[in-house]
Amino acid sequence: MKISIGADHAGFLLKEQLRRKLTADGHHVTDHGTGSEQSCDYPEFAAAVGRDVADGSAERGVLVCGSGVGMSIAANKISGVRAAVASTEDQVRLTRAHNDVNVLTFGSRTVDGPAAERMVDAFLEAAFEGGRHAKRVDLITRLERDDD
């Protein structure tokens, strides 16, 4: 699977762990940075990953910052992105099954490495159920169009 990944300084170490895992699992990973723990601004990384997902260059995106919230907010500004902050594997499965989430965000200060790896696996394995949920995702997509 093609996966776009990014992080700010607070998420750098967890992003690196996830990038190595995804690559070892055979995924094609595009890493938009950051490349260190030096202070930087998360919106630029969220935008790069979000644009990859929105334009089809990547099938899914993964973002990491201190809380996961800032990345989620910024990524959701890109039309076509449905980003959600992850805290449990069940939540991840539900966001994929019911909301067709295509970008997953993590807080490096709230989720440890092994848990993040399990949630990424759940994110990549879970499928969108469609059905009644498709109508709701369509309504979300209309909200994006109405704001343009």
Name residue 54's amino acid: A
Question: Confidence class of residue 147 from pLDDT cuts 50, 70 and 90?
Answer: low
Give yes or no: 65 in active site. Answer: yes
The pair of three-digit structure tokens given for residue 65, joined into one six-digit string: 């910052």
Of the options 3.30.300.30, 3.90.1200.10, 3.40.50.2300, 3.40.1400.10, the CATH number for the domain spanning 2-147: 3.40.1400.10
Cα–Cα distances in angstroms (integers) from residue 109 to residues 69, 80, 84, in the given order: 11, 28, 16
Quick: pLDDT tens for 7-16.
999 999 999 9
- Of 27-41, 87-101, 132-146, the poorest mean pLDDT is in 132-146
Question: Confidence class of residue 148 from pLDDT cuts 50, 70 and 90?
Answer: low
Which of 27, 28, 98, 133 is an active site residue?
98
> What is the C-alpha separation between 30 and 23, in angstroms, rounded?
10
Q: List the chain domain ranges.
A: 2-147
Which of 9, 27, 32, 65 is an active site residue?
65
Residue 79 has a pLDDT of 95
Quick: pLDDT tens for 56-93.
999 999 999 999 999 999 999 999 999 999 899 999 99
Residue 83, helix vs strand vs coil = strand
Helix orientation angle between 89-99 and 113-125, rounded to the nearest 10 degrees? 30
> What is the C-alpha separation between 17 and 114, in angstroms, rounded?
9
> What is the C-alpha separation between 103 and 49, in angstroms, rounded?
8
Question: Confidence class of residue 146 from pLDDT cuts 50, 70 and 90?
Answer: confident
Give yes or no: 40 in active site. Answer: no
Mean pLDDT, range 13-29, rounded to an integer: 98
Strand order of the β-sheet with 103-107 is: 28-31, 2-7, 60-65, 103-107, 83-85
Q: Which residues contact 102 (CB under 8 A, 6 or more apart)?
A: 53, 59, 60, 61, 80, 81, 82, 83
Given a cut of 60, is residue 122 above it in pLDDT?
Answer: yes
Mean pLDDT, range 137-148, rounded to an integer: 84
Mean pLDDT, range 20-32, rounded to an integer: 98
Mean pLDDT, range 108-118, rounded to an integer: 97
